[in-house]
């Protein structure tokens, strides 16, 4: 149906509308990759992250920091406190233009 | 930067800017540090700005500030899968001076507000992250930034660094928030012609509507969805406790799509074009989650201090009042030349005497109670809808019979005692 595209249904479509000024260095870091692999079967961060930053690649966690909204959910929600979370360098990261 | 200031405020949101504005206006030398490209670029809010607390900082701000619409109608929807029970208040007096509240777009508003603090003499520095507080002998004496030679010193540092408040945490003022102390909220700004908005929401050009949506909008989780009218766009969003989202294994943007396509919501959005997608945490731990507020040479304000009244979706106003009260305490401290915790504690005392402290206290058990007892969202809202359906469906059965059936319906599944207990519990935490 026409019009559905501009309703930004998928997360990719939503993220496409957001402005990011990416740093070359990640402000997010998995502290111990082994914890994700061996201790964390549910990998909740791959579900609740509102920007799909975390993607499990079978044996390791891919962290797409470039699309991060800097909300802090992953740091608080990781059951193993396994995410090192900092703010991106001044002026970098997400740039909200509207709300 | 290398200089020395009376006050350094970290974060140019409503709390920080209110503090910087008030302190600068009183003649203090103020540095306001913002990590974003501009104030507002990291900030998200459903969109309601309250007139009263803003006016106490800048009288008649509405004549100049970039606002969207004054809200003249507040609607509340108690929604089930394909029905809703609603209640609302519309008052045209809210559309005239002095107004009650306004919808705003924060990126615009925060820039304007910060520019007003600059007019009062505050120095605003953007694109700068404060990495830590500089502490000497247990006293905060300045901040370290991510700029070269980025140490700056001041008599008092105000932490207005938002919900995550890494600085408050690093000072030991609070521990890491727990997933039930924050609400993960996602929203979209959707462009829609002004005329369409006016027709759909039954308002005129300079009148706005706020809709809070409970029940199926969060699939029974503790939280709400909201739909607010801007001039020529809508803010549609949904948030639940992070703990609820994790437990139910919900993707926040799927929940947002669920709300957007819900048959009660969808007709309002038809033809809208998404312009931006935003995610943010709201501090919703309430009274019991408020961290230590004052130390030697340091105070905490706004979201960083968990100043949000989730029941009345108030936060920006608490942020502003707390920023202003912090500034007043700092001005007082400056007069007597003492910036110890004992003197700055004036801020904490005033805050707890004000509506901020009193409202937080009134609802101190609400979040935890509703989180621990999901039946209010998950069971009672559907029951309310069923009751309304039964009562208003003309099916030939006498009204007295209907009333009796409705009451039986309420108590059948749970038993009278459970229902009574639930009602009493809800009354107790809300009263």
pLDDT at B78 over 70: yes
Which residues 294-313 on chain B approach chain A with CB closer than 8 angstroms? Answer: none
A1 touches chain B (CB under 8 A): no
Torsion on CA atoms B154, B156, B158, B159, rounded to nearest 10: 80
CA atoms B404, B409, B411, B412: torsion sign: positive
Q: What is the mean pLDDT of chain A?
A: 94
Q: What is the pLDDT averaged over residues B315-339?
A: 98
Looking up tokens 């920080």 gives B16
Distance from CA of A1 to the nearest CA of B (A): 11
pLDDT > 70 fraction of chain B, expressed in percent and rounded: 100
State which residue of chain A sits closest to B34, comparing Cα positions.
Answer: A90
- The verdict on B273 touching A (C-beta cutoff 8 Å) is yes
The CATH code that applies to domain B182-283 is 3.30.9.10
Closest chain B residue to A70, measured at CA: B280
* pLDDT, mean of residues B223-246: 97
Provide the chain B residues 48-107 that lie in CB contact (below 8 A) with chain A.
105-107
Pairing of strands A93-95, A19-21: antiparallel
Fold of A5-95: Alpha-Beta Plaits (3.30.70)
DSSP bridge partners of B223: B240
Cβ contact B323:B19 at 8 Å? yes
Read off the pLDDT of residues B124-169 as tens digits, 9 standing for 90 and up. 999 999 999 999 999 999 999 999 999 999 999 999 999 999 999 9
pLDDT score recorded for residue B317 = 98
Q: Where are the domains of chain A?
A: 5-95
For chain B, the average pLDDT equals: 96
Residue A2: pLDDT band (50, 70, 90) is very low
More confident residue, B280 or B368: B280
Instruction: List pLDDT tens digits, range B85-127.
Output: 999 999 999 999 999 999 999 999 999 999 999 999 999 999 9
B160: closest CA among B44, B284, B37, B301? Answer: B301
With cut-offs at 50, 70 and 90, classify the pLDDT of residue B326.
very high
Name the CATH superfamily for B4-68+104-174+286-362: FAD/NAD(P)-binding domain (3.50.50.60)
Mean pLDDT on B267-296: 97
Band the pLDDT of B2: cuts 50, 70, 90.
low
pLDDT band at B3 (very low <50, low <70, confident <90, very high): confident
Distance in Å, alpha carbon of B1 to nearest chain A alpha carbon? 15
pLDDT tens column, B197-211? 999 999 999 999 999
* Average pLDDT estimate for B350-377: 93
Which residues 11-50 of B are in CB contact (within 8 Å) with A? 35-37, 40-45, 47
Touching check for B316 and chain A: CB below 8 Å?
A: no
- Over residues A37-76, the pLDDT tens digits come to 999 999 999 999 999 999 999 999 999 999 999 999 999 9
Confidence tier at B254 by pLDDT (50, 70, 90): very high
Q: What is the pLDDT of residue A1?
A: 43
Structure tokens at B85: 């029970």
Given a cut of 70, whether residue B21 has pLDDT beyond it is yes
* Residue B180: partners with Cβ closer than 8 Å, 6 or more residues away: B241, B242, B243, B244, B285, B367, B368, B371
Q: Which residue in B164, B184, B276 is closest to A96 by CB distance?
A: B276
- The pLDDT tens digits for B371-413 are 899 888 889 999 999 999 999 999 999 999 999 988 888 888 7
In this prediction, residue B34 carries a pLDDT of 98
Within a 10 A sphere around the Cβ of B84, how many other Cβ atoms? 23
Chain A residues 16-35 with a CB less than 8 Å from chain B: 17-18, 21
Q: B274–A87: do the CB atoms touch at under 8 Å? A: no
Residues facing residue B123 across a β-bridge: B31
Q: How far is B239 from chain A (nearest CA, A)?
A: 11
* Cα B311 from chain centroid (whole Å): 10
The 3-class secondary structure across B202-251, one letter per residue, is CCCCCCEEEEEEEEHHHCCCCEEEEEEECCCEEEEEEEEEHHHHHHCCCC
ipTM of the modeled complex: 0.96
* Residue A4 confidence (pLDDT) above 60: no
Please name the member of A3, A18, A75 whose beta carbon is closest to the beta carbon of B271. Answer: A3
> Which pLDDT does position B367 carry in this prediction?
85
Q: What whole-number percentage of chain B has pLDDT above 90?
A: 90
Statement: residue B414 has pLDDT above 90: no
């Amino acid at each position: 149906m026409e019009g559905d595209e501009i309703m930004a249904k998928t997360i990719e479509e939503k993220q496409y509308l957001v402005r990011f000024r990416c740093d070359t260095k990640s402000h997010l870091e998995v502290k111990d990759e082994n914890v994700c692999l061996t201790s964390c079967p549910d990998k909740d961060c791959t579900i609740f992250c509102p920007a799909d930053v975390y993607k499990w690649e079978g044996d390791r966690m891919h962290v797409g920091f470039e699309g991060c909204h800097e909300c802090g959910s992953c740091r608080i929600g990781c059951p193993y406190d396994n995410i090192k979370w900092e703010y991106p360098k001044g002026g970098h990261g997400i740039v909200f233009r509207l709300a | 930067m290398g200089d020395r200031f009376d006050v350094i405020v970290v974060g140019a949101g409503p709390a920080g800017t209110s503090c910087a504005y008030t302190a600068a206006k009183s003649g203090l030398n103020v540095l306001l540090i913002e990590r974003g490209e501009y104030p507002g670029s990291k900030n998200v809010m459903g969109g309601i700005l309250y007139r009263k607390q803003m006016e106490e900082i800048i009288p008649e701000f509405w004549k100049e500030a970039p606002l969207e619409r004054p809200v003249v109608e507040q609607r509340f929807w108690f929604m089930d899968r394909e029905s809703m029970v609603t209640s609302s208040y519309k008052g045209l007096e809210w559309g005239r001076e002095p107004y009650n509240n306004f919808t705003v777009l924060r990126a615009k508003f925060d820039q304007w507000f910060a520019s007003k603090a600059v007019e009062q003499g505050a120095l605003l520095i953007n694109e700068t992250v404060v990495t830590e507080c500089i502490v000497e002998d247990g006293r905060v004496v300045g901040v370290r930034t991510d700029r070269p030679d980025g140490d700056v010193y001041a008599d008092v540092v105000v932490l207005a660094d938002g919900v995550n408040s890494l600085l408050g945490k690093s000072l030991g003022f609070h521990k890491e928030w727990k997933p039930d102390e924050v609400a993960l909220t996602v929203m979209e700004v959707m462009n829609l012609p002004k005329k369409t908005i006016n027709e759909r929401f039954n308002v005129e050009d300079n009148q706005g509507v706020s809709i809070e949506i409970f029940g199926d909008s969060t699939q029974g989780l503790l939280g709400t969805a909201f739909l607010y009218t801007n001039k020529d766009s809508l803010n549609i969003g949904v948030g639940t406790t992070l703990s609820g989202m994790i437990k139910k294994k919900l993707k926040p943007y799927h929940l947002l799509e669920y709300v957007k396509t819900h048959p009660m919501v969808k007709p309002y959005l038809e033809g809208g074009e998404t312009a931006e997608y935003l995610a943010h945490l709201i501090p919703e731990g309430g009274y019991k989650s408020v961290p230590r507020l004052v130390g030697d040479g340091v105070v905490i304000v706004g979201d960083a201090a968990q100043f949000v009244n989730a029941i009345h979706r108030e936060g920006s106003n608490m942020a502003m009042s707390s920023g202003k009260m912090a500034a007043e305490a700092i001005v007082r401290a400056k007069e007597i030349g003492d910036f110890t915790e004992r003197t700055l504690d004036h801020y904490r005392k005033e805050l707890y005497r004000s509506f901020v402290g009193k409202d937080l206290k009134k609802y101190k058990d609400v979040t935890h109670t509703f989180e621990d007892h999901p039946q209010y969202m998950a069971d009672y809202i559907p029951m309310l809808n069923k009751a309304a359906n039964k009562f208003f469906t003309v099916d030939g059965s006498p009204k007295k019979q209907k009333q009796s059936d409705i009451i039986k319906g309420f108590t059948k599944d749970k038993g009278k005692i459970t229902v009574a207990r639930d009602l009493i519990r809800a009354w107790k935490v809300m009263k």
